[in-house]
Chain A
Amino acid sequence: AQSVAQPEDQVNVAEGNPLTVKCTYSVSGNPYLFWYVQYPNRGLQFLLKYITGDNLVKGSYGFEAEFNKSQTSFHLKKPSALVSDSALYFCAVRDIGNTPLVFGKGTRLSVIA
């Protein structure tokens, strides 16, 4: 069965500094990997996805993520954090077949001015 882990409940970073939100996964086949963001009192919004191809995926709002098959990771990154990036971030994975995504527990990102 597929699973995804976000090892950090909370990440704090100063505005202007690079940020990383970690995600590792476990699947039996080739993974489809997603990142979503949730702002307060809002639904989740899609940021980016990896299906196949280039291991570095670029998404919305300047975010990117790197697929690393050997480390089974899909960390979310941004070169320069903004206060407005403060939100809850979810990693999600799908295994073989047309089955729904499995979401991680989320990582709360706080960007401090």
Chain B
Amino acid sequence: DAGVIQSPRHEVTEMGQEVTLRCKPISGHDYLFWYRQTMMRGLELLIYFNNNVPIDDSGMPEDRFSAKMPNASFSTLKIQPSEPRDSAVYFCASSLDASYNEQFFGPGTRLTVL
């Protein structure tokens, strides 16, 4: 398996633009997690899915953030409109379950909002 795949690896955009981050989890993993990492706040869980259904989105910072998982092999995290404070590295991770088994992280998307 190729592991968790994220695209793009780097994204530079201007304030106000829509940003879409993509993730392909490991096949057979029922759980998918979106995280954000910044120097100031560390690693934050934004939202996670179980069998394509959002379970907890309490970590999503604002209504500008939305996430979908239309099928077991694809998820998106969208920011609309983007703001400079959204600049961070966004990670997608997948796992067989929420916590007993380890999570496998993708390489991340480094987002810069100018």
Contact = CB atoms under 8 A, between A and B. Distances in A.
Interface of A: 32, 34, 36, 41-46, 49, 51, 90, 94, 98-101, 103-106
Interface in B36-53: 42-43, 45, 48
A42 B42 CA distance: 15
A6 to B, nearest CB: 10
Contacts, number: 53
Contacts of B43: 44, 90, 103, 105-106
B102 A99 contact: no
A32 B99 contact: yes
Given A32-B100, A43-B4, A98-B97, 15 more contacts: A32-B99, A36-B105, A41-B107, A42-B108, A43-B107, A43-B108, A44-B103, A49-B102, A90-B43, A94-B98, A94-B99, A98-B100, A99-B99, A100-B33, A103-B45
Q: How large is the interface on B (under 10, 10 to 19, 20 to 34, 35 or more residues)?
A: 20 to 34
Interface of B: 4, 33, 42-43, 45, 48, 56, 91, 93, 97-100, 102-108
Nearest to A46: B102
B103 A105 contact: no
A42 B37 CA distance: 12
Nearest to B102: A46
Nearest to B104: A46
Contacts of A90: 43
In the complex, the 8 A-B pairs of residues with the closest C-beta atoms, listed nearest first: A43-B105, A94-B99, A46-B102, A105-B42, A44-B105, A98-B98, A103-B43, A100-B98
A43 B100 contact: no
B99 A98 contact: yes
Given A43-B93, A44-B91, A100 B42 contact: no
Contacts of B99: 32, 94, 98-101
Contacts of B93: 43-44
